[in-house]
Amino acid sequence: MSDLMKLWPGRSLTITPDRGKEFAKVQCLTDKFGTPFYFPDPHSPWQRGTNENTNGLLREYLPKGTDLDSITDRRIQAYAEQMNNRPRKCLGWKTPYEIFFNVVLHLI
């Protein structure tokens, strides 16, 4: 995560991870990058609504039970590109790509 934060400094205003143990030492990231972490309450997926919605969109490409070992990296990249170029209601019908890179992809 530290490497990703270095690539685009200041782009993440907050981070709301799941409650996995891999985020046990987030204070060092908060100190290093100044990005606050907010942990959701246990068993409260609605506190991470965009993440839950994105998981649902991902299931359109990779239904539960899909053998991920059979999916190539190239295919995963294609899914990510499609999802990042899909307009979202929560973004005012802009795409995640448009928001992140501050560009306009469509004029309609």
Nearest to 2 by CA among 36, 38, 26: 26
CA atoms within 13 A on the CB side of 57: 16
pLDDT band, very low/low/confident/very high, at 57 (cuts 50, 70, 90): very high
Q: Per-domain residue ranges for the chain?
A: 1-39, 46-108
Nearest to 37 by CA among 21, 56, 16, 18: 16
What would the pLDDT profile of 16-53 be if each residue is shown by its tens digit?
887 778 888 788 878 888 888 888 888 888 888 888 88
What's the distance, CA 81 to chain centroid?
A: 13
Place of tokens 């030492």: 25
Tell me the sheet residues that pair with 88. Answer: 94
What would the pLDDT profile of 63-108 be if each residue is shown by its tens digit?
999 999 999 999 999 999 999 999 999 899 999 999 888 877 666 5
What are the tokens at 45?
């997926």
